[in-house]
Amino acid sequence: MKWVKFDPDAWLSGTRELTHEEKGIYIDVIALLYARNGNLPNDDKIVARMLQCNPRTWRKIKPKLVAKNKIRLFGSNWTANRVEFELNWSRIHAEFQSNKSKRREESTVEENHARANNHNHNHNKERKEHIRAVGAKNAPRPPRDEVFEKFWESYPKREGANPKVPARKAFEVAIRQGTEAQSIIVAAKAYATDPTTKPGTPYVAQAVTWLHQRRWQDYADKAAEYARIEALKADEAAEQERRKIYWLNRLAQEGTGNAKASEKG
């Protein structure tokens, strides 16, 4: 991220209880988090070296920043809600702009095609329904398999055997017994980021064993934290989308008003 938003009022009110030294460390931590995609290693010496301060200074200030909910430990890394929201919004905004551009290009192509061939509204509707039907027919996997693939991507890699087919069956059994698929997926992410897991080694449990032992229940708290963060991100994205629609409507209204004024003139 090259540019970030800065609200002076929010900064002054949110750091009122920090000393000048603590404020300086905090703003440097925020800058480092932006530069490192929202993560700092949980290593006092490394972080102190990045902050260009003495490790004792960082160890003294760190607990206060945690107590004031300025930073928090997530897995084996330090992060901050503010930075997560900003980075997530940047990704959402870039994706939105890209999709908007693609939709505009697709719309232009369809309109030109319809104009050239004198297609009517009913024909366009039938064409879209046909495309949807063909897409559904040619879908490579049913939704149930897609959900399992999300779990498989979230589960940590291990050295040695990790059979996928029995893991898929164990996953489906857990779903049929009433466990929500999303709960298992976020628990797998929490297991992958647990400092004791050691991905890429034989110490990672086989996925089928992990599922049979219902070990997603061991990560219920972290899974809930993942779900909370995802919900906050969704709320932030929805709020940003609502603001965009509001201002787009305002611009459209102002454009209509200017056009009418020109006609009268």
| Contact of 33 with 40, CB cutoff 8 Å | yes
Tell me what the mean pLDDT of segment 248-255 comes to.
74
Mode of pairing for the β-strands spanning 72-74 and 40-41 = unpaired
| Contact of 187 with 150, CB cutoff 8 Å | no
Residues spanned by CATH 1.10.10 within the chain?
8-79
Distance in angstroms (rounded) separating the CA atoms of residues 181 and 174: 8
163-166: long-range contacts at Cβ-Cβ below 8 A with a sequence spacing of 24 or more? 163/206, 163/208, 164/207, 166/208
Q: What is the C-alpha radius of gyration for the chain, rounded to an integer number of angstroms?
A: 25
CA distance to 1, 147, 160, 162, per residue, from 150 (Å)? 28, 5, 21, 16
Of the candidates 162, 226, 167, which has an alpha carbon nearest to the alpha carbon of residue 194? 226
Phi-psi category of residue 74: left, alpha or beta, with phi > 0 → left and psi -120 to 50 → alpha: beta
CA distance to 154, 171, 174, 186, 207, per residue, from 74 (Å)? 16, 26, 27, 14, 23
Q: Collapsing DSSP states into helix, strand and coil, what is residue 7?
A: coil
Q: Give per-residue pLDDT as tens, 104-133.
A: 877 777 777 666 666 556 656 676 666 665
pLDDT of residue 141: 45
Q: Is 8-79 in CATH node 3.30.200?
A: no
Amino acid type, 207 = A
CB environment 158-177: b (16+ within 10 A), e (fewer): beeebeeeebbebbbebeee
Q: Give per-residue pLDDT as tens, 180-206.
A: 998 899 999 989 988 888 899 999 999
Instruction: State the pLDDT confidence band at 77, using cuts at 50, 70 and 90.
Output: confident
pLDDT of residue 69: 80
Range from 67-76, 131-140, 152-161 carrying the lowest mean pLDDT = 131-140
| Contact of 57 with 24, CB cutoff 8 Å | no
